[in-house]
Structure 1
Amino acid sequence: MAPTAGLVVDIIDLPQQVGSIKNIHLEIPAPADLGAEMIGAREGSPLVLDAELTSLDNGVLVRGHADVHLTGQCVRCLRDLEDDTTISFDELYFTPEAARAQAAEGDEEADELFILGESTLDLEPALRDALVLALPFQPLCREDCAGLCPQCGERLDDLPADHHHEQLDPRWSALASLLPDGADTDAADSEAAGSAVDDEEAQR
């Protein structure tokens, strides 16, 4: 995935002396696919990010937080969700040399380290990781959401408490499907019931 230009910050003016600090403030549109499948930041929605960059021997420590507007769907009833949230993140961005040293030492996670550019730092991967971890695995409109009626698909919370559907005897459902449109299903049920009685009498 190509870096989002607004989240790539210039660090050429951050002194390499350990402990040197640079503060940044960004107000940009959210990049695409920021979040999880059922909930996340819609592309182009407002994203406000503040971070403190601190020089270290082996890279730059980033401590930041971002205000994000979330949209999504309840996994039970598919109701639209909207929420504003703030996520925080602390990440160490390694110099290429330090990352190679980690790999040479047998660090199995060396390939997943955040790496500094020659004069830039891309905040997007740290932001994405932090947001995914902060989002609910199964977003709900409320904890006791009743979900959808399995028969009609309507939200159970919008239906009366005594909502139900007549359940036909499954033994005759195949016969009902053979009836032409507009046929009297009640008559078909009566005929099927009568056939069942005749069968029972014949077996006596």
Structure 2
Amino acid sequence: MMTVETTVPSPLRIGVELIAVDEGAPLDLNLRLESVSEGVLVTGTVSAPTSGECARCLNPLTGDVEIDLTELFAYPDSTTDETTDDDEVARVSSIRGAESVDLEQPIIDAIGLVLPFSPVCGDDCAGLCPDCGMPLADAEPGHQHEKIDPRWAKLAELRDQTAGGPREPSGDEQ
């Protein structure tokens, strides 16, 4: 058994469009590697800072992500190696006589699965006004825009051209 506690830079941006672990951000690895009959079992945690923007109001977000990692790396010529496809189980590789495991893809996959697809700055985030784009948190209460159906736009123009705007019907017109 071997324990690894180290910090390495993220090899690339890991995540989705709105939130991710930036390239070069520190990945804190706290891992345990054990030799088992079919390969090397890697278990532990990986944590990293995240940055992005709120899906509702587009304000910047920062936070942390922590994943639990459990991955089996099959020994060459083991039963697991012989009975699984290449993309089902990772493999132990030999480089100049030394055995190694590549944790990059399992870490990328695990982080990608736990990050929210639509991160928000808070459950009460109101987002942006769909008409003017103003953050609704900064807008006055009751913020709204008058919308005129394009089919009635000419009538609205005629109404606005009359002196005094819309008229109230008089007693004879009722």
Same fold (TM over 0.5): yes
Determine which structure has the larger helix proportion and give its number.
1
Q: 1:86 to 1:169 in 2, by over 3 A?
A: closer
Q: Is the 8 A contact 1:73 1:79 kept in 2?
A: yes
Q: Is 2:102 the partner of 1:102? A: no
Unaligned runs of 5+ in 1: 1-20, 104-108, 176-185, 193-204
Q: Give the TM-score normalised by structure 2.
A: 0.79
Residues 29, 43 of structure 1: 8 Å contact kept: yes
Q: Is the 8 A contact 2:2 2:34 kept in 1?
A: yes
Residue matched to 2:24: 44
| Unmatched 5+ stretches in structure 2 | 163-174
CA-CA distance at 1:188 after TM superposition: 6.0
Higher relative strand content: 2
CA positional deviation for 1:75: 1.2
Cα distance, 1:140 vs. partner?
Answer: 1.0
- After superposition, the Cα gap between the structure-2 partners of 1:39 and 1:187, relative to the gap in structure 1 and judged at 3 Å, is closer
Match of 2:89 among 113, 127, 133: 113
Q: 1:172 to 1:191 in 2, by over 3 A?
A: farther
Runs of 4+ in 1 over 4 A off after TM superposition: 186-189
- How big is each residue's C-alpha offset from its partner over 1:86-138, in whole Å with a ceiling of 9 and x where there is no partner? 221111111232344123xxxxx652311111121111112112212221222
Q: Quick check: 1:54 aligned with 2:30? A: no
Residue equivalent to 2:59: 79
1:72-92 CA-to-partner distances (Å, cap 9, x unmatched) read 111111111100232211111
1:67 matched to 2:37? The reply is: no
| Structure-2 change in CA distance of 1:81 and 1:24 (3 Å) | same
Shift of 1:172: 5.1
Structure 1 window deviating more from structure 2 (33-42 vs 145-154): it is 33-42
Q: Which of 90, 98, 107 in structure 1 is aligned with 2:70?
A: 90
The Cα of 1:37 is off from its aligned counterpart by 2.3
CA distance in 1, matches of 2:29, 2:14: 14
Query: What is the rounded CA distance, in whole Å, between the counterparts of 1:169 and 1:191 in structure 2?
Result: 18
The residue correspondences of 1:165-180 to structure 2 (distance < 5 A) are 165-171=145-151, 173=153
Cα deviation, residue 187, structure 1: 6.6
> Which residue is 2:165 aligned to?
none
- Say yes or no: does 1:190 pair with 2:126: no
Identity of aligned residues (%): 38
1:29, 1:190 → 2: CA distance? 63
Secondary structure of the structure 2 residue equivalent to 1:82:
strand
Give the partner amino acid of 2:82: A
